[in-house]
């Protein structure tokens, strides 16, 4: 079943990306840094800039801050959990609309105690659980276990290496949560995938819409060679248009 609305979330890592997502019609952003590592917690300054840009554009519910203290896996020790809690509280104090979090146990299940801590720290913010669920032993069971716990949505590839590989499980997730959670597909999402993802019944699609800025400049031991990733405005617009087209093609009201 294609939902009445298919939202587009863009992962961005700088102020320019925030503006591009706003101008392109995205429903919200996942604000982070270091997308090449899968995304890490952004700076306080970037959160402030994003909140200010969203306020100026009168975009409500727009800024969702990824809270992930390091790359690698999602099993966190007590110090890392404390850092995550502090960063959630900081994001809330800076005016973010939501946070994106997740944690696993050594056994490969969702860390229920950690997630409860994160929800408590969020104090009313929208909470998205990220693709830690895809690294769990049973992604479907992990997603279903989050229903009724105060989590707004789950970002997932359906446990696949990317969203296309996970399509059958994404469809099961969307059907079995019964509206108790929003299912947001992520993981290698391309504009050409959006129609199939919509048909699977997901509520939203998540992509980084990355381009590359190859500008030169001084280089040396401190780096600077090879340019850097940016948010591509054309991809953002195409994703938003593709989501609208998928809903219209279903015969439902957008």
pLDDT tens string 17-74: 999 999 999 999 999 999 999 999 999 999 999 999 999 999 999 999 999 999 999 9
pLDDT digits (tens, 9 = 90+) for 97-122: 999 999 999 999 999 999 999 999 99
- Kind of pairing between the strands at 204-207 and 7-12: parallel
At 252, list the tokens: 């439902």
Would the pLDDT of 186 be above 60? Answer: yes
At 110, list the tokens: 């969702």
Are the C-beta atoms of 41 and 65 separated by less than 8 Å? yes
Q: Which residue has the tokens 């229903």?
A: 147
Counting DSSP H helices and E strands in the chain, the numbers are 8, 10
Per-residue confidence at 150, pLDDT binned at 50, 70, 90? very high
- Other residues' Cβ atoms within 10 Å of the Cβ of residue 143: 28
Predicted local confidence at residue 249, as pLDDT: 86
User: Does residue 254 fall inside a structural domain?
Assistant: no
User: Does residue 213 fall inside a structural domain?
Assistant: yes
Per-residue confidence at 227, pLDDT binned at 50, 70, 90? confident
Predicted local confidence at residue 1, as pLDDT: 44
The contacts of residue 218 (CB under 8 Å, 6+ apart) are 224
Q: How many domains does the chain have?
A: 1
Backbone angles phi, psi at 5, to 5 degrees: -135, 135
Whole-number percent of the chain with pLDDT over 90: 87
Whole-number percent of the chain with pLDDT over 70: 92
User: Does residue 173 fall inside a structural domain?
Assistant: yes
Predicted local confidence at residue 116, as pLDDT: 98
User: Does residue 1 fall inside a structural domain?
Assistant: no
Phi-psi category of residue 188: left, alpha or beta, with phi > 0 → left and psi -120 to 50 → alpha? left
User: Does residue 63 fall inside a structural domain?
Assistant: yes
d(CA 42, CA 65): 7
DSSP state of 143: H
Would the pLDDT of 250 be above 60? Answer: yes
Higher pLDDT, 216 or 164: 164
Would the pLDDT of 253 be above 50? Answer: no
Domain region containing 191 = 7-249
What mean pLDDT comes out for the span 213-231?
70
Chain centroid to CA 115: 16
The CATH number that applies at residue 147 is 3.20.20.380
User: Does residue 239 fall inside a structural domain?
Assistant: yes
Per-residue confidence at 178, pLDDT binned at 50, 70, 90? confident
- Kind of pairing between the strands at 63-66 and 28-31: parallel
User: Does residue 225 fall inside a structural domain?
Assistant: yes
d(CA 146, CA 103): 12
Predicted local confidence at residue 35, as pLDDT: 94
User: Does pTM surpass 0.85?
Assistant: yes
d(CA 146, CA 156): 13
- Kind of pairing between the strands at 126-129 and 98-101: parallel
User: Does residue 130 fall inside a structural domain?
Assistant: yes
Question: Reduced to 3 states, what is the DSSP secondary structure of residue 186?
Answer: coil
């Amino acid at each position: 079943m294609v939902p009445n609305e298919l939202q587009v979330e863009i992962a961005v890592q700088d102020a320019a990306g925030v503006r591009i997502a706003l101008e392109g019609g995205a429903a919200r952003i996942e604000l982070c840094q270091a997308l090449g590592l899968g995304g890490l917690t952004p700076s306080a300054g970037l959160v402030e800039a994003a909140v200010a840009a969203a306020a100026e554009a009168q975009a409500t519910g727009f800024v969702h801050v990824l809270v992930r203290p390091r790359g690698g896996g999602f099993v966190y020790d007590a110090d890392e959990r404390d850092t995550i809690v502090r960063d959630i509280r900081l994001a809330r104090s800076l005016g973010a609309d939501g946070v994106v979090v997740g944690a696993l146990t050594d056994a490969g299940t969702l860390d229920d105690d950690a997630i409860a801590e994160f929800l408590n720290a969020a104090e009313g913010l929208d909470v998205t659980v990220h693709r830690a669920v895809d690294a769990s032993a049973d992604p479907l069971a992990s997603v279903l276990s989050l229903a009724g716990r105060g989590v707004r949505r789950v970002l997932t590839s359906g446990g696949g290496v990317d969203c296309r590989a996970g399509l059958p499980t994404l469809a099961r997730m969307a059907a079995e949560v019964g509206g108790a959670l929003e299912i947001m597909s992520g993981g290698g999402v391309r504009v050409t995938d959006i129609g199939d993802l919509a048909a699977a019944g997901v509520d939203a699609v998540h992509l980084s819409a990355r381009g590359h800025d190859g500008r030169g400049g001084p280089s040396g031991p401190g780096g600077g060679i090879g340019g850097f990733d940016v948010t591509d405005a054309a991809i953002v617009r195409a994703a938003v248009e593709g989501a609208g087209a998928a809903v219209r093609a279903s015969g439902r009201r957008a």
